[in-house]
């Protein structure tokens, strides 16, 4: 028999990957701050620093939604599918970082990938919970 901790391990692993990615983005903001001479508490002044900062903040804004959505999706629908869409989110955020830092006009593909994964997880969590409650 599989314990609950073993059963949810794939989602826990992806959660850790999401948080590690966010930690790396945070470190990149700090590095860009030093490299481009943007002293704290300023959040503007150099375009490259601002790009890293926006990627970091946008990722934080999305984590607030995607993390609980992924866990709820795993609980009500499927652990492996939730973990899979969580990984798609991580890849999308990486693509978003690369595109945005290179040229803000190139951020859309990464944003679309991560936002689509987030939307699937959120809607799946809602429908799964509703189906469990109402049916």
Residue 102, domain CATH: 1.20.120.550
Interval 37-54 mean pLDDT: 96
Q: What's the 3-state SS for the chain?
A: CCCHHHHCHHHHHHHHHHHHHHHHHHHHHHHHHHHCCCCCCCCCCCHHHHHHHHHHHHHHHHHHHHHHHHHHHHHHCCHHHHHHHHHHHHHHHHHHHHHHHHCHHHCHHHHHHHHHHHHHHHHHHHHHHHHHHHC
Give per-residue pLDDT as tens, 59-77. Answer: 999 999 999 999 999 999 9
As a whole number of angstroms, the distance between CA 108 and CA 44 comes to 22
Assign 6 a pLDDT band (cuts: 50, 70, 90): confident
The whole-angstrom separation of Cα 14 and Cα 70 is 9
Number of domains in the chain: 1
Does the pTM surpass 0.85? The reply is yes
Instruction: Tell me which residue of 77, 56, 59, 55 sits closest to 121, measured CA to CA.
Output: 77
Is the pLDDT confidence value at 99 over 60?
yes
pLDDT of res. 98 = 98
Phi–psi pair at 93, nearest 5 degrees = -65, -40
pLDDT greater than 60 at residue 1 = no
Position 21 scores a pLDDT of: 98
Q: Which domain holds residue 26?
A: 4-134
């Amino acid at each position: 028999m599989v314990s609950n901790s073993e059963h949810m391990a794939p989602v826990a692993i992806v959660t850790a990957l999401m948080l590690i990615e966010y930690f790396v983005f945070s470190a990149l903001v700090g590095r860009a701050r030093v490299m481009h001479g943007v002293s704290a508490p300023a959040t503007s002044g150099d375009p490259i620093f601002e790009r890293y900062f926006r990627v970091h903040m946008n990722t934080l804004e999305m984590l607030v939604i995607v993390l609980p959505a992924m866990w709820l999706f795993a609980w009500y629908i499927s652990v492996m599918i939730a973990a899979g869409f969580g990984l798609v989110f991580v890849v999308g955020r990486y693509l978003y970082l690369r595109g945005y830092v290179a040229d803000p006009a190139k951020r859309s593909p990464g944003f679309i990938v991560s936002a689509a994964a987030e939307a699937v997880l959120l809607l799946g969590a809602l429908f799964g919970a509703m189906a469990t409650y109402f049916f």
